[in-house]
A and B are shown apart, each in its own frame.
Chain A
Protein backbone atom coordinates (compact mmCIF):
# COMPACT_ATOMS: atom_id res chain seq x y z
CA UNK A 1 0.00 0.00 0.00
CA UNK A 2 1.47 3.38 -0.96
CA UNK A 3 -1.29 5.69 0.27
CA UNK A 4 1.04 7.58 2.60
CA UNK A 5 4.72 7.86 1.75
CA UNK A 6 7.55 9.24 3.85
CA UNK A 7 11.10 10.24 2.98
CA UNK A 8 13.75 9.61 3.96
CA UNK A 9 13.18 6.21 5.54
CA UNK A 10 16.33 6.53 7.64
CA UNK A 11 18.14 9.65 8.82
CA UNK A 12 21.22 10.10 10.96
CA UNK A 13 22.01 13.63 12.03
CA UNK A 14 24.21 15.51 14.43
CA UNK A 15 22.84 17.76 17.11
CA UNK A 16 23.71 20.90 15.15
CA UNK A 17 22.28 19.79 11.81
CA UNK A 18 19.11 20.98 10.15
CA UNK A 19 17.07 18.40 8.27
CA UNK A 20 13.50 17.91 7.11
CA UNK A 21 11.16 14.93 6.99
CA UNK A 22 8.63 14.74 4.19
CA UNK A 23 5.24 13.09 4.06
CA UNK A 24 2.90 12.81 1.09
CA UNK A 25 -0.55 11.27 0.99
CA UNK A 26 -2.29 10.05 -2.14
CA UNK A 27 -5.68 9.36 -0.55
CA UNK A 28 -7.42 12.68 -1.10
CA UNK A 29 -7.51 13.32 2.64
CA UNK A 30 -7.71 16.72 4.35
CA UNK A 31 -6.06 16.01 7.68
CA UNK A 32 -2.44 15.07 8.34
CA UNK A 33 -0.57 14.14 11.49
CA UNK A 34 2.93 13.69 12.90
CA UNK A 35 3.52 11.06 15.59
CA UNK A 36 6.62 9.99 17.49
CA UNK A 37 7.09 6.28 18.21
CA UNK A 38 9.68 5.44 20.84
CA UNK A 39 10.50 2.03 22.24
CA UNK A 40 8.18 0.90 25.05
CA UNK A 41 6.07 4.07 24.87
CA UNK A 42 2.70 4.69 23.25
CA UNK A 43 2.60 6.61 20.01
CA UNK A 44 2.80 10.30 20.85
CA UNK A 45 0.80 12.74 18.80
CA UNK A 46 2.90 15.77 17.87
CA UNK A 47 0.98 17.89 15.38
CA UNK A 48 -2.34 17.87 13.55
CA UNK A 49 -3.28 19.78 10.43
CA UNK A 50 -6.83 19.99 9.08
CA UNK A 51 -7.32 21.66 5.70
CA UNK A 52 -3.76 23.02 6.00
CA UNK A 53 -4.47 24.69 9.33
CA UNK A 54 -2.62 23.50 12.42
CA UNK A 55 -5.18 22.39 14.98
CA UNK A 56 -2.95 20.66 17.50
CA UNK A 57 0.53 21.19 18.90
CA UNK A 58 0.93 18.65 21.63
CA UNK A 59 3.51 20.59 23.68
CA UNK A 60 6.23 19.75 21.19
CA UNK A 61 9.61 21.51 21.64
CA UNK A 62 10.31 24.29 19.16
CA UNK A 63 13.23 22.36 17.68
CA UNK A 64 10.48 20.51 15.76
CA UNK A 65 8.73 22.75 13.25
CA UNK A 66 5.90 21.44 11.06
CA UNK A 67 4.84 22.81 7.71
CA UNK A 68 1.76 21.92 5.67
CA UNK A 69 1.81 23.71 2.29
CA UNK A 70 -1.25 21.80 1.01
CA UNK A 71 -3.49 18.93 2.05
CA UNK A 72 -1.26 16.36 0.38
CA UNK A 73 2.10 17.32 1.85
CA UNK A 74 3.44 17.62 5.36
CA UNK A 75 6.96 18.42 6.50
CA UNK A 76 8.73 18.24 9.82
CA UNK A 77 11.73 20.54 10.03
CA UNK A 78 14.35 19.48 12.54
CA UNK A 79 16.92 21.79 14.16
CA UNK A 80 19.39 21.28 17.03
CA UNK A 81 17.87 18.00 18.11
CA UNK A 82 18.87 16.01 21.19
CA UNK A 83 19.84 12.33 21.33
CA UNK A 84 16.54 11.58 23.12
CA UNK A 85 14.73 12.71 19.97
CA UNK A 86 15.92 9.54 18.26
CA UNK A 87 12.76 7.61 17.35
CA UNK A 88 10.50 6.52 14.51
CA UNK A 89 8.52 9.47 13.20
CA UNK A 90 5.22 8.50 11.66
CA UNK A 91 2.99 10.51 9.39
CA UNK A 92 -0.71 9.76 9.04
CA UNK A 93 -3.63 11.16 7.13
CA UNK A 94 -7.40 10.99 7.45
CA UNK A 95 -10.47 12.33 5.72
CA UNK A 96 -11.20 15.20 8.12
CA UNK A 97 -10.83 15.43 11.88
CA UNK A 98 -14.42 16.43 12.66
CA UNK A 99 -15.98 13.56 10.71
CA UNK A 100 -17.45 10.89 12.96
CA UNK A 101 -16.11 8.06 10.83
CA UNK A 102 -12.60 9.47 10.55
CA UNK A 103 -9.86 6.84 10.28
CA UNK A 104 -6.13 7.49 10.17
CA UNK A 105 -3.81 5.79 7.68
CA UNK A 106 -0.10 5.67 8.40
CA UNK A 107 3.08 5.93 6.42
CA UNK A 108 6.11 3.67 6.93
CA UNK A 109 7.93 6.18 9.11
CA UNK A 110 11.35 7.79 9.20
CA UNK A 111 13.84 6.18 11.57
CA UNK A 112 15.76 9.13 13.04
CA UNK A 113 19.03 8.79 14.92
CA UNK A 114 20.52 11.85 16.58
CA UNK A 115 24.19 11.57 17.42
Chain B
Protein backbone atom coordinates (compact mmCIF):
# COMPACT_ATOMS: atom_id res chain seq x y z
CA UNK B 1 0.00 0.00 0.00
CA UNK B 2 1.11 3.53 -0.68
CA UNK B 3 2.27 5.66 2.22
CA UNK B 4 3.73 9.11 2.75
CA UNK B 5 6.12 10.03 5.54
CA UNK B 6 6.78 13.53 6.76
CA UNK B 7 9.64 13.33 9.18
CA UNK B 8 9.13 16.50 11.16
CA UNK B 9 5.99 17.03 13.18
CA UNK B 10 6.80 20.60 14.24
CA UNK B 11 9.52 22.90 12.94
CA UNK B 12 10.33 26.23 14.58
CA UNK B 13 12.42 28.78 12.69
CA UNK B 14 13.31 32.43 12.92
CA UNK B 15 12.49 34.77 10.06
CA UNK B 16 15.01 34.67 7.21
CA UNK B 17 16.09 31.12 8.08
CA UNK B 18 16.11 28.53 5.33
CA UNK B 19 13.50 25.81 5.30
CA UNK B 20 13.53 22.21 4.17
CA UNK B 21 10.66 19.87 4.98
CA UNK B 22 11.14 16.22 4.25
CA UNK B 23 8.70 13.98 2.42
CA UNK B 24 9.22 10.36 1.45
CA UNK B 25 6.75 8.04 -0.18
CA UNK B 26 6.44 4.37 -0.93
CA UNK B 27 5.16 3.54 -4.39
CA UNK B 28 7.06 1.82 -7.14
CA UNK B 29 5.39 3.26 -10.21
CA UNK B 30 4.73 6.65 -11.74
CA UNK B 31 3.68 9.23 -9.19
CA UNK B 32 2.18 12.67 -9.07
CA UNK B 33 3.45 14.67 -6.10
CA UNK B 34 1.92 17.61 -4.27
CA UNK B 35 2.55 19.97 -1.41
CA UNK B 36 -0.45 21.65 0.19
CA UNK B 37 -0.43 24.35 2.84
CA UNK B 38 -3.04 25.11 5.48
CA UNK B 39 -2.70 28.57 7.06
CA UNK B 40 -4.35 29.03 10.47
CA UNK B 41 -8.10 29.12 10.06
CA UNK B 42 -7.92 28.67 6.30
CA UNK B 43 -8.52 25.83 3.89
CA UNK B 44 -5.93 23.57 2.27
CA UNK B 45 -4.29 25.32 -0.65
CA UNK B 46 -2.09 23.87 -3.36
CA UNK B 47 1.51 25.08 -2.99
CA UNK B 48 3.08 23.20 -5.89
CA UNK B 49 2.88 19.95 -7.82
CA UNK B 50 5.03 17.63 -9.89
CA UNK B 51 3.70 15.49 -12.71
CA UNK B 52 6.63 15.08 -15.11
CA UNK B 53 9.59 16.91 -16.61
CA UNK B 54 11.98 19.05 -14.58
CA UNK B 55 12.23 17.46 -11.12
CA UNK B 56 12.72 20.88 -9.55
CA UNK B 57 9.34 22.55 -9.38
CA UNK B 58 8.56 26.05 -8.25
CA UNK B 59 5.38 27.00 -6.48
CA UNK B 60 3.73 30.03 -5.01
CA UNK B 61 5.29 32.34 -2.40
CA UNK B 62 8.88 31.36 -3.19
CA UNK B 63 8.54 27.67 -2.37
CA UNK B 64 10.15 24.94 -4.44
CA UNK B 65 10.42 21.17 -4.22
CA UNK B 66 12.74 18.62 -5.76
CA UNK B 67 11.66 15.17 -6.84
CA UNK B 68 14.45 12.65 -6.36
CA UNK B 69 13.17 9.40 -7.79
CA UNK B 70 16.00 7.25 -6.47
CA UNK B 71 15.28 8.42 -2.94
CA UNK B 72 11.48 8.40 -3.26
CA UNK B 73 11.59 11.94 -1.91
CA UNK B 74 9.89 15.24 -2.64
CA UNK B 75 11.31 17.72 -0.15
CA UNK B 76 9.94 21.25 0.14
CA UNK B 77 12.35 24.18 0.39
CA UNK B 78 12.33 27.93 0.82
CA UNK B 79 15.56 29.93 1.12
CA UNK B 80 14.21 32.56 3.53
CA UNK B 81 11.01 32.09 5.52
CA UNK B 82 8.69 34.82 6.70
CA UNK B 83 6.38 35.02 9.69
CA UNK B 84 3.47 34.67 7.26
CA UNK B 85 4.71 31.19 6.30
CA UNK B 86 3.50 29.91 9.67
CA UNK B 87 1.16 27.11 8.68
CA UNK B 88 0.82 23.35 8.40
CA UNK B 89 2.34 21.75 5.31
CA UNK B 90 1.11 18.49 3.82
CA UNK B 91 2.88 16.30 1.30
CA UNK B 92 0.62 14.12 -0.87
CA UNK B 93 1.22 11.44 -3.47
CA UNK B 94 -1.00 10.05 -6.17
CA UNK B 95 0.21 6.74 -7.51
CA UNK B 96 -0.66 6.22 -11.15
CA UNK B 97 -3.32 8.05 -13.14
CA UNK B 98 -6.18 6.45 -11.20
CA UNK B 99 -4.68 6.24 -7.75
CA UNK B 100 -6.07 8.03 -4.74
CA UNK B 101 -4.31 11.00 -3.20
CA UNK B 102 -2.45 9.83 -0.08
CA UNK B 103 -1.44 12.46 2.46
CA UNK B 104 1.31 12.60 5.03
CA UNK B 105 0.53 13.58 8.61
CA UNK B 106 1.65 17.15 8.02
CA UNK B 107 4.42 19.34 9.40
CA UNK B 108 3.56 22.37 11.45
CA UNK B 109 5.88 25.30 10.76
CA UNK B 110 6.14 28.13 13.26
CA UNK B 111 8.17 31.17 12.21
CA UNK B 112 9.24 33.53 14.96
CA UNK B 113 9.32 37.23 14.00
What's the minimum C-beta distance from A47 to chain B, rounded to whole angstroms? 11
Task: From known contacts A98-B98, A101-B51, infer whether A106 and B44 are also in contact, taking CB-CB under 8 Å.
Answer: yes
Query: Is B61 an interface residue when CB atoms closer than 8 A count as contact?
Result: no
Contact A104 B101 (CB under 8 A): yes
CB interface residues, A 1-36, toward B, < 8 Å: 1, 4
How many angstroms from the CA of A105 to the CA of B103 in the assembled complex?
14
Which B-chain residue is minimally distant from A106 (CB atoms)?
B44
Contact B100 A45 (CB under 8 A): yes
Determine the chain A residues whose CB is within 8 A of the CB of B32 once the complex forms. Answer: 100-102
How many angstroms from the CA of A106 to the CA of B88 in the assembled complex?
15
Which B-chain residue is minimally distant from A45 (CB atoms)?
B100
Query: Is A90 an interface residue when CB atoms closer than 8 A count as contact?
Result: yes
Query: Is A42 an interface residue when CB atoms closer than 8 A count as contact?
Result: yes
Determine the chain A residues whose CB is within 8 A of the CB of B102 once the complex forms. Answer: 42
Contact of B105 among A40, A45, A97, A105 (CB under 8 A): A40
Number of chain B residues close to chain A: CB under 8 A: 22
Determine the chain A residues whose CB is within 8 A of the CB of B67 once the complex forms. Answer: none
Which A-chain residue is minimally distant from B105 (CB atoms)?
A42
Determine the chain A residues whose CB is within 8 A of the CB of B46 once the complex forms. Answer: 103, 105
Determine the chain B residues whose CB is within 8 A of the CB of A101 once the complex forms. Answer: 32, 51
Residues of A within 8 A of B (CB): 1, 4, 40-43, 45, 48, 56, 58, 90, 92, 97-109
Residues of B within 8 A of A (CB): 4, 32, 34, 36, 42-46, 49, 51, 90, 94, 97-98, 100-106
Known: A56-B100, A98-B97, A106-B36. 11 other contacts (CB 8 A): A42-B102, A42-B103, A42-B106, A43-B103, A98-B98, A100-B97, A102-B32, A103-B34, A103-B49, A106-B43, A106-B44
